[in-house]
């Protein structure tokens, strides 16, 4: 195993970019961008993770919540047929969303509608900000 620590390690050359433009990889694991794309937000009560996964069945997805992360795994199966062009990626994917702060694990919900997966992670009481009153002495 060779580990290259030079500043150019992993940099693409113009030839690499041309090759990828002409023959892009359709496998999700070989794409340069993270999949599925996610939006992560919060309010005072919840953390929200929203993923775009069009055309996926709920049975093909696996969500795992650990103490510090939410793992979204799945596999988009290749559709059979003769194609003139195929831009939708296929294959196994995994996305890890790091969570800082406590979550009420028993109250977590996940819903999927129109290709949009939404996971709602309620904040635990310990992780919510607490106002401290100041007493004059």
- Write down the pLDDT at residue 6: 47
In a domain, 136, yes or no: no
Q: How many folded domains does the chain comprise? A: 1
- Write down the pLDDT at residue 122: 93
Q: What is the pTM of this model?
A: 0.68
In a domain, 4, yes or no: no
User: Can you give the residue range of the structural domain that contains 117?
Assistant: 14-122
Which residues are CB-contacts of 45 (< 8 A; sequence separation ≥ 6)? Answer: 122, 123, 128
Radius of gyration of the chain (CA): 21
In a domain, 2, yes or no: no
Q: What residue ranges in 1-137 does DSSP mark as E strands?
A: 38-42, 46-52, 61-65, 69-76, 91-98, 109-113, 116-122
Residue 84 gets which letter from DSSP?
S
Give residue-wise pLDDT tens across range 13-37.
676 666 666 666 555 545 556 788 9
In a domain, 128, yes or no: no
In a domain, 105, yes or no: yes
Confidence label for 59 from pLDDT (cuts 50, 70 and 90)? confident
- CATH code for position 95: 2.60.40.790
Mean pLDDT of 39-58: 90
In a domain, 134, yes or no: no
Q: What distance in Å separates the CA atoms of residue 120 and residue 111, rounded to the nearest whole number?
A: 9
In a domain, 88, yes or no: yes
């Amino acid at each position: 195993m060779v580990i290259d620590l030079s500043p150019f390690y992993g940099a693409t050359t113009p030839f690499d970019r041309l090759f990828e433009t002409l023959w892009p990889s359709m496998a999700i694991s070989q794409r340069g961008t993270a999949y599925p794309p996610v939006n992560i937000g919060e309010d005072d009560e919840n953390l929200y993770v929203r993923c775009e996964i069009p055309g996926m069945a709920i049975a093909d997805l696996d969500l795992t919540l650990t103490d510090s992360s939410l793992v979204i795994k799945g596999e988009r199966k290749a559709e059979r047929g003769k194609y003139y062009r195929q831009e939708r990626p296929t294959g196994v994917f995994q996305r890890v969303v790091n969570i800082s702060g406590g979550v009420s694990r028993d109250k977590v919900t996940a819903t999927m509608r129109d290709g949009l997966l939404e996971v709602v992670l309620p904040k635990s009481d310990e992780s919510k900000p607490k106002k401290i009153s100041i007493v004059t002495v």
